[in-house]
Amino acid sequence: MFFVGLLVWMAIGLAGGLLARALYSSPDTVAALTVAFGVFGAFIGGMLGLSGYVHHDANPLRLGGLVGAVVGAVGFALIYHVAQRKAA
Protein backbone atom coordinates (compact mmCIF):
# COMPACT_ATOMS: atom_id res chain seq x y z
CA MET A 1 0.00 0.00 0.00
CA PHE A 2 2.88 2.37 0.74
CA PHE A 3 4.35 1.95 -2.75
CA VAL A 4 0.98 2.67 -4.36
CA GLY A 5 0.73 5.87 -2.31
CA LEU A 6 4.13 7.00 -3.54
CA LEU A 7 3.05 6.37 -7.12
CA VAL A 8 -0.07 8.45 -6.49
CA TRP A 9 2.11 11.26 -5.13
CA MET A 10 4.26 11.03 -8.27
CA ALA A 11 1.19 11.29 -10.49
CA ILE A 12 -0.03 14.29 -8.48
CA GLY A 13 3.40 15.87 -8.86
CA LEU A 14 3.39 15.35 -12.61
CA ALA A 15 -0.07 16.88 -12.89
CA GLY A 16 0.90 19.77 -10.59
CA GLY A 17 4.04 20.50 -12.58
CA LEU A 18 2.15 20.45 -15.86
CA LEU A 19 -0.55 22.68 -14.39
CA ALA A 20 2.04 25.19 -13.19
CA ARG A 21 3.70 25.05 -16.61
CA ALA A 22 0.37 25.81 -18.28
CA LEU A 23 -0.39 28.68 -15.90
CA TYR A 24 3.04 30.30 -15.95
CA SER A 25 4.78 29.28 -19.13
CA SER A 26 7.79 31.27 -20.21
CA PRO A 27 10.31 30.71 -22.97
CA ASP A 28 13.12 30.85 -20.40
CA THR A 29 11.83 27.98 -18.25
CA VAL A 30 12.44 24.32 -18.98
CA ALA A 31 9.32 22.14 -18.93
CA ALA A 32 11.13 19.06 -17.58
CA LEU A 33 12.51 21.05 -14.64
CA THR A 34 9.05 22.41 -13.83
CA VAL A 35 7.62 18.89 -13.77
CA ALA A 36 10.56 17.65 -11.69
CA PHE A 37 9.93 20.42 -9.15
CA GLY A 38 6.27 19.41 -9.14
CA VAL A 39 7.15 15.79 -8.30
CA PHE A 40 9.64 16.92 -5.64
CA GLY A 41 7.06 19.25 -4.14
CA ALA A 42 4.49 16.46 -4.07
CA PHE A 43 6.83 14.20 -2.10
CA ILE A 44 7.77 16.95 0.37
CA GLY A 45 4.17 18.13 0.76
CA GLY A 46 2.90 14.58 1.07
CA MET A 47 5.40 13.78 3.80
CA LEU A 48 4.54 16.97 5.67
CA GLY A 49 0.86 16.15 5.28
CA LEU A 50 1.49 12.78 6.92
CA SER A 51 3.59 14.16 9.77
CA GLY A 52 0.57 14.10 12.08
CA TYR A 53 0.13 10.36 11.44
CA VAL A 54 3.68 9.29 12.28
CA HIS A 55 2.72 7.19 15.30
CA HIS A 56 -0.41 5.91 13.62
CA ASP A 57 -0.74 4.17 10.28
CA ALA A 58 1.33 6.44 7.99
CA ASN A 59 -0.51 5.54 4.80
CA PRO A 60 0.30 7.93 1.91
CA LEU A 61 -3.27 7.66 0.66
CA ARG A 62 -4.67 9.55 3.67
CA LEU A 63 -6.32 12.90 3.02
CA GLY A 64 -3.48 14.86 4.65
CA GLY A 65 -0.89 13.21 2.43
CA LEU A 66 -2.87 13.78 -0.74
CA VAL A 67 -3.67 17.42 0.05
CA GLY A 68 -0.06 18.01 1.02
CA ALA A 69 1.11 16.47 -2.24
CA VAL A 70 -1.18 18.70 -4.32
CA VAL A 71 -0.20 21.87 -2.46
CA GLY A 72 3.47 20.95 -2.54
CA ALA A 73 3.51 20.12 -6.25
CA VAL A 74 1.74 23.25 -7.43
CA GLY A 75 3.46 25.46 -4.87
CA PHE A 76 7.00 24.30 -5.64
CA ALA A 77 6.51 24.58 -9.39
CA LEU A 78 4.94 28.04 -9.11
CA ILE A 79 7.74 29.26 -6.84
CA TYR A 80 10.22 28.03 -9.44
CA HIS A 81 8.44 29.94 -12.20
CA VAL A 82 8.23 33.15 -10.18
CA ALA A 83 11.92 32.93 -9.27
CA GLN A 84 12.82 32.20 -12.88
CA ARG A 85 10.91 35.24 -14.15
CA LYS A 86 12.52 37.54 -11.58
CA ALA A 87 16.00 36.23 -12.47
CA ALA A 88 15.52 36.83 -16.19
Entry pTM: 0.79
Summarised one tens digit per residue, pLDDT across range 9-39 is 888 888 888 887 787 766 777 788 888 888 8
CA 88 – CA 85 distance, rounded (Å): 5
Number of domains present in the structure of the chain: 1
66, 75, 58, 12: which is closest to 39 by C-alpha? 12
Cα–Cα distance measured from residue 78 to residue 84, given in angstroms and rounded to the nearest whole number: 10
Domain limits at 54? 2-87
